[in-house]
Amino acid sequence: MPPNMPEKHFPVSWDEFHRDARALAWRLADAGPFEAIVCITRGGLVPAAIVARELGIRVIETVCVASYDHVTQSELRLLKTVAADIRALGGGRGKGVLVVDDLVDTGMTARLVRGILPAAHFSAVYAKPLGRPQVDTFITEVSQDTWIFFPWDTGLAFQPPIREAGL
């Protein structure tokens, strides 16, 4: 296990993630109307596609932010900002824009994007306590010291029983 990897693990299968992303769409259904989705890449791409389908939203934009190198959090870098026509919505404040991410962890990324779209509705499938104040809607809260294994980051492999793994 890498040295910075938290001991608590929360593996999420494709089926579970799809269910949780649809549950997010259910919660968001009455929060709109939304003219566009801005997904925070890369983790927000999959839930944004599911939410867009469920809510009938056709305009999907990305904001590209890097803060992790696999398991190590580093300096926050804005790689690509939100397109001007999306930023112009809601009087230039993002009202009517739905921001979607897979996880809000420390809230650093959400704060950066909120600076670009201050009136947007922020959502995430999963939230940790430090980041939770930055999102308007989420589905599941996990502890700050838990590492979520998303289905796009994992493969099928043998897992030793918890007792044998020393947890």
Q: Is the sign of the CA dihedral 73, 77, 82, 87 positive or negative? A: positive
Residues taking part in catalysis: 101-102, 105
Is residue 95 pLDDT above 70, yes or no?
yes
In tens, the pLDDT along 126-161 reads 999 999 999 999 999 999 999 999 999 988 888 788
Averaged confidence pLDDT in the chain: 92
pTM of the model as a whole: 0.88
Q: Which residues, in sequence order, are CB contacts of 9 under 8 Å at separation 6+?
A: 146, 147, 149
The pairing of beta strand 36-41 with beta strand 60-69? parallel
Residues 6+ apart with CB under 8 A from 105: 73, 128, 130, 131
Whether 3 shows a pLDDT value over 80: the answer reads no
pLDDT score at 160: 81
